[in-house]
């Protein structure tokens, strides 16, 4: 496990929220195709609200941006949603009167101070940070951490972990 993906010792309550279509449960979700990854993003979008922080972790090509594209579809934001690796952060305004989607990439950042210098709108938008593990946890006591693992056969396994009081009430929430 890389240094960025290790937990930072935060003492906020942790609730595991992995998902099947019926409800949020405690086992990882098998996501075999890009279409299903986008669909998962669309379903998760229904749970998100302004002020939510979503941290995405996983190897290169795991599906972090694909999941974010599904979130953008579900939130009905202006696109296209592409990897923010070189621009570091993009804002996608809502086309439906909802919150904007802020899509950031922490891969090239040295720490929370550099991420904080981006002056992201954490209260009025839904903020998604790729490669955020080990860096962005300090942005909020409440966050949804999503880890995407990719097998040698290209199958993806997605584990969602809700951290903090915001996510503690959603354990039985259907997605």
pTM: 0.80
Helix (H, G, I), strand (E, B) or coil at 39: helix
pLDDT tens readout for residues 56-66: 999 998 999 99
Give the model's pLDDT for residue 28. Answer: 83
Give the per-residue pLDDT at 166: 84
Q: Where on the phi/psi map is residue 87: left (φ > 0), alpha (ψ -120 to 50), or beta?
A: alpha
What's the pLDDT tens digit per position in 99-125?
999 998 876 666 666 666 666 767 899
Strand partners, 157: 30, 149
Does 3 score more than 70 pLDDT?
A: no
For residue range 119-137, list pLDDT tens digits in order: 676 789 999 998 877 777 8
Nearest to 24 by CA among 155, 149, 146: 146
The pLDDT of residue 5 is 32
> Could you tell me the CATH superfamily of domain 15-166?
P-loop containing nucleotide triphosphate hydrolases (3.40.50.300)
pLDDT tens track for 131-172: 877 777 878 888 999 999 998 888 899 988 888 888 877 665
Phi, psi of 69 (to 5 degrees): -60, -40
């Amino acid at each position: 496990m890389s240094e960025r993906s290790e937990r930072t010792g935060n003492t906020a309550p942790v609730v595991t929220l992995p998902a099947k279509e019926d409800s949020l449960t405690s086992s990882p979700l098998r996501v075999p195709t890009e279409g299903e990854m986008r669909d998962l993003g669309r379903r998760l979008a229904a749970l998100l609200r302004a002020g939510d922080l979503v941290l995405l972790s996983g190897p290169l090509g795991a599906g972090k941006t694909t999941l974010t594209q599904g979130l953008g579809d579900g939130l009905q934001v202006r696109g296209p949603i592409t990897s923010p690796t070189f621009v570091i952060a993009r804002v996608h305004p809502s086309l439906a009167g909802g919150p904007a989607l802020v899509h950031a990439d922490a891969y090239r950042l040295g720490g929370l101070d550099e991420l904080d210098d981006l002056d992201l709108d954490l209260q009025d938008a839904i903020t998604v940070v790729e490669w955020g593990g080990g860096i962005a946890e300090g942005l909020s006591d409440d966050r949804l951490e999503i880890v995407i693992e990719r097998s040698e056969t290209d199958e993806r396994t997605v584990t969602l972990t809700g951290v903090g009081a915001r996510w503690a009430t959603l354990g039985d929430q259907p997605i």
